[in-house]
Amino acid sequence: MSLLTRMSYKKQKQLVIALFLFVPLTLLLTFSFLPVLTMIGYSFTSWNGYSKTVPFVGLDNYITLFTKPEYFSVFGVSLYYFVGSFVQMGLALWFAVILSQSLRFRNFFKGTLFFPYLLNGVAVGFIFLFFFKPDGTLDTVLRALGLGDAVQYWLKDPNIINVSLTGASIWRYIGFNFILFLGVISSISSDIYEAADLDGANKWQQFRYIIWPSILQVIQLNLILAVSGSISVFETPYVMTGGSNGSNTFVIQTVDVAFKYNKLGLASAMAVVLMVIVLIVTRVQQLWLKKRT
């Protein structure tokens, strides 16, 4: 203790900061950066995941990858999720604006909207499998509403399957966007609204000139997460369809190559390529947004 008090205030501050940072940084290094580095290392080998020998093959894996366009054809599926992410953000923003006002049962609705995000992804997958089954929940509801004609084979029809899966994904992740928006909107001081009211601004004008400028940054953040998220979709389609019937994504493909066909080396190379793509896309997006604002 005396050692601490003898230090200058600045030194103490630095020490405390270092101590606090130690834990998260160690976790980050051990569980993010170290695995990524090992993975990059594996991408230059043809390791099968078991052998004690790890044969070095140089750039072979990358050559295989880039000479076979079918590895990249699955990115088409990402477009569904990309479009879906705008629907998701729109809905989330809509609910956030409504529920930021004083409304009856508003905490209940907030909870309902956020709840799916807390659920385990595997559980969500199973819920939606049941939901989309022929004569399952969705069909029953549609028939009860007199919309029996709209009933489809939600997962069997290859033209609809990705829309259905995107829907499930929206339901699952909307709570996350919602809570981000709500947080920012709630932090806007009520004085501003009052002043706007006095000046005769209607709800739309309040949204356009008070809320919108304040949430712009969060929208940008959500946009970046949405794009990188739709490039690397995994959980929902993996649990629900295993990537079959035209719902395959790049990450599912990578997992298959690694664990079904024991090509850890090639799979690592695919993961590296995905990482690079996400980094580039995010960077481009940042630059573009910076120019705009």
Reference 228, options 181, 273, 275; nearest CA is 275
What are the b/e assignments for 37-64, b being 16+ CB within 10 Å? eebeebbbbbbeeeeeeeeebeebbbeb
Nearer Cβ to another protein, position 97 or 173?
173
CB 81 within 8 Å of CB 230: yes
Q: Which is nearer to another protein, 8 or 159 (CB)?
A: 159
Residues lying near another protein in the complex (CB under 8 A) are found at: 31-32, 34-36, 38-39, 42, 48-52, 81, 84-85, 88, 129, 132-134, 136, 153, 155-158, 161, 166, 169-170, 172-173, 176, 225-226, 228-235, 241-242, 244-246, 251, 254-264, 267-268, 271, 274-275, 278
Give the shortest CB-92-to-another protein separation in angstroms: 11
Which element (helix H / strand E) includes 282?
A: helix 264-292
The answer for residues whose C-beta is within 8 angstroms of residue 23's C-beta and 6 or more apart is none
What is the closest distance, in whole angstroms, from the C-beta atom of residue 267 to another protein in the complex? Answer: 7
DSSP code at position 173: H
> Which of 192, 223 has the CB closer to another protein?
223
C-beta of 211 vs 237, nearer to another protein: 237
Q: How far is the CB of 245 from another protein (least distance, A)?
A: 6
The minimum distance between CB 15 and another protein, in angstroms, equals 31
In whole angstroms, the minimum distance from the beta carbon of 156 to another protein comes to: 5
For residue 237, the tally of other CB atoms under 10 A from its CB is 26
**Does residue 56 sit in helix, strand or coil?**
strand
